Structures are given as structure tokens and as C-alpha cells.
């Protein structure tokens, strides 16, 4: 079994972003069921947390700015860790993310096992 990072990116900065706050609201229950389903397979390593959407960005020379890191439109919206045999399996799990239909993007990254 390998560990995978599941990172959900979505537009937090545009004015008429999709998913909208209403769409996020509607996705709460399906999202919980999705995570519950992963946990029921004993594949949840670290559960998601609710992250503040403001955030700070720290750059060279200790420059600190407000807001999520948004050089591109998709900021980090949520992240958690799962267990899976392969990228194939992890991707299959990621496809179940209920926020995908509203324009979110799910990034799947395998942790390199310590050798």
C-alpha cells in the first residue's frame, strides 16, 4: 500500500467562481459521504480538515501577503491522505469527489516510500 495526497483545488479568488458558495454548501453532505466511504474501506490515512479560505503567503525576504496563493485561478481548497495500491486505484477514489462537477480540480500525488 502507498500513501497518496488528495488535494482539491478550486477558484477562491474570482468574483463569480465555480464552485460558488451555494454549490459548496450543496456539496457538504455528498462530500462527507465520499470521505466516509473512503474511511469505511480503511483507506483514509489523515482526514480532511476545514481550512480557512483567507490564508497568508510567505515569499523570499519574509514578504508576507494576505490571501491564498493564487498565481493561477485554482487555490488549495482541501487536502487529506489516503492509502491505495497504485495511482490507478487512487485516481478511481479521487473521481468520486463530489465537487468535481462544479469545476474543482483534484490533484493526486503519491508519497515516495522512505527507503
Partner 1 sequence: MEEEVILPHLFRTEYRNIVSVLCYLFGIEHIEIAEDIVSDTFLSATELWATKGIPENPAGWLYTVAKNKTKNYLKRNTVFEQKLSAEIRYSTPRTEEFEIDLSHKNIADSQLAMIFTVCDPSISDESQIALALNLLCGFGIQEIADAFLTGKEVIYKRLNRAKEKLRESRIKIEQPSISEINERLETVLTTLYLLFSEGYYSTSPLAQNATLRKDVCEEAMRLNYLLIESPATNQPAVNALYALMSFHASRFDARTNENGENILYEDQDETRWNRKLIDQGTHFLIQASTGNKVSKFHLEAGIAFWHTQKESTSEKWENILELYNNLLMLEYSPIAALNRTFALAKARSKQEAIIEAEKLNLTGNHFYYSLLGHLYTGIDHDKALRHFQTALELTTSKADRSTILKNIERLNS
Q: Which residues bind partner 1 (CB under 8 A)?
A: 29, 32-33, 35-37, 39-42, 44, 47
Q: How far is the CB of 45 from partner 1 (least distance, A)?
A: 10
- Distance between CA atoms of 27 and 17, rounded to whole angstroms? 15
What is the rounded radius of gyration, in angstroms, for the C-alpha atoms of the chain? 15
Q: How far is the CB of 42 from partner 1 (least distance, A)?
A: 5
CB closer to partner 1 out of 7 and 70: 7
CB closer to partner 1 out of 40 and 72: 40
Give the angle subtended at the CA of 33 by the CAs of 27 and 37, to the nearest 5°: 140
- Distance between CA atoms of 42 and 2, rounded to whole angstroms? 13
The continuous run of DSSP H or E covering 24 comes out as: helix 21-40
Q: How far is the CB of 38 from partner 1 (least distance, A)?
A: 9
Q: How far is the CB of 82 from partner 1 (least distance, A)?
A: 12
Residue 113's Cβ-count burial label (10 Å; 0-12, 13-18, 19+) is exposed
CB closer to partner 1 out of 37 and 67: 37
CB closer to partner 1 out of 20 and 32: 32
Amino acid at each position: 500500500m502507498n500513501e497518496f495526497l488528495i488535494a482539491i483545488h478550486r477558484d477562491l479568488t474570482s468574483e463569480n467562481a465555480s464552485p460558488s458558495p451555494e454549490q459548496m454548501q450543496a456539496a457538504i453532505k455528498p462530500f462527507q459521504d465520499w470521505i466516509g466511504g473512503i474511511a469505511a474501506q480503511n483507506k483514509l490515512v489523515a482526514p480532511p480538515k476545514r481550512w480557512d479560505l483567507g490564508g497568508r503567503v510567505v515569499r523570499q525576504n519574509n514578504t508576507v501577503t494576505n490571501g491564498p496563493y493564487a498565481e493561477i485561478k485554482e487555490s488549495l481548497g482541501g487536502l487529506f491522505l489516503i492509502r491505495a495500491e497504485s495511482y490507478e486505484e487512487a485516481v478511481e477514489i479521487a473521481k468520486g469527489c463530489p465537487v468535481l462537477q462544479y469545476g474543482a480540480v483534484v490533484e493526486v500525488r503519491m508519497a515516495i516510500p522512505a527507503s
